[in-house]
């Protein structure tokens, strides 16, 4: 099989999973765009990427970073949102998304992959090239920060960086 043929096979296999994971972070259409961008980056480095133990893990990490960057940039450049009368679950979702966006980058990555993309801890570790213990540590710290942040939000207090 030619190099481009191998990549096409990889793309066909990886795209749905990468798009689904990214879509959980940025929304379905945005997830497909993020997946295409991550897979295009893989194609431009295909000789090196295909030689890795897990090319899909590399693409998942790139897609996660792109998706998180997109969420962060959208927050930074958006006008302050006006809150129309949405149902409570939509408001809760936005509060959680906003709280996640305030976490340190590695904690955001771990939370996004573990809970939004529903990846097992060992796969998150493989994708991020860290130990499973590090994944658990980042999850523990992120969840502790989220609990504090969400408790403050519920109490009506302004959120201050939690470290």
Sketch out the chain's domains with CATH numbers: 1-78 (1.10.1740), 84-163 (1.10.10.10)
pLDDT band at 86, cuts 50/70/90? very low
Cα–Cα nearest to 109, from 55, 61, 42, 73: 61
pLDDT over 80 (residue 85): no
Q: Across 3-12, 21-30, 137-146, which has the greatest mean pLDDT?
A: 137-146
The percentage of the chain sitting over the pLDDT mark of 70, rounded to a whole number, equals 82
How far apart (Å, rounded) are the C-alpha atoms in residues 48 and 30? 27
pLDDT of residue 18: 92
How far apart (Å, rounded) are the C-alpha atoms in residues 83 and 99? 17
- CA 64 remoteness from chain centre: 4
What mean pLDDT is predicted for residues 15-34? 87
Q: For residue 57, which phi and psi values (nearest 5 degrees)?
A: -65, -40
How far apart (Å, rounded) are the C-alpha atoms in residues 61 and 18? 9
The three-class DSSP label of residue 152 is: helix
What mean pLDDT is predicted for residues 11-26? 90
Please enumerate in sequence order all residues whose Cβ is within 8 A of that of 158, keeping only pairs 6 or more positions apart, or say none: 152
How far apart (Å, rounded) are the C-alpha atoms in residues 98 and 125? 24
Whole-model pTM: value is 0.57
């Amino acid at each position: 099989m030619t190099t481009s043929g191998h990549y096409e096979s990889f793309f066909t296999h990886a795209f749905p999973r990468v798009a689904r994971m990214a879509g959980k972070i940025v929304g379905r259409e945005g997830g497909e765009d993020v997946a295409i961008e991550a897979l295009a980056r893989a194609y431009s480095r295909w000789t090196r990427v295909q030689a890795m133990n897990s090319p899909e893990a590399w693409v998942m990490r790139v897609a996660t970073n792109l998706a998180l960057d997109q969420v962060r940039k959208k927050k930074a450049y958006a006008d302050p949102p006006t809150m129309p009368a949405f149902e409570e679950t939509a408001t809760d979702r936005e509060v959680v998304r906003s709280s996640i966006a305030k976490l340190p980058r590695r904690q955001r990555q771990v939370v996004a992959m573990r809970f939004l993309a529903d990846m097992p801890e060992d796969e998150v570790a493989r994708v991020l090239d860290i130990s499973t213990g590090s994944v658990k540590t980042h999850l523990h710290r992120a969840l502790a920060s989220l609990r504090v942040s969400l408790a403050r939000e519920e109490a009506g207090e302004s959120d201050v960086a939690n470290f």
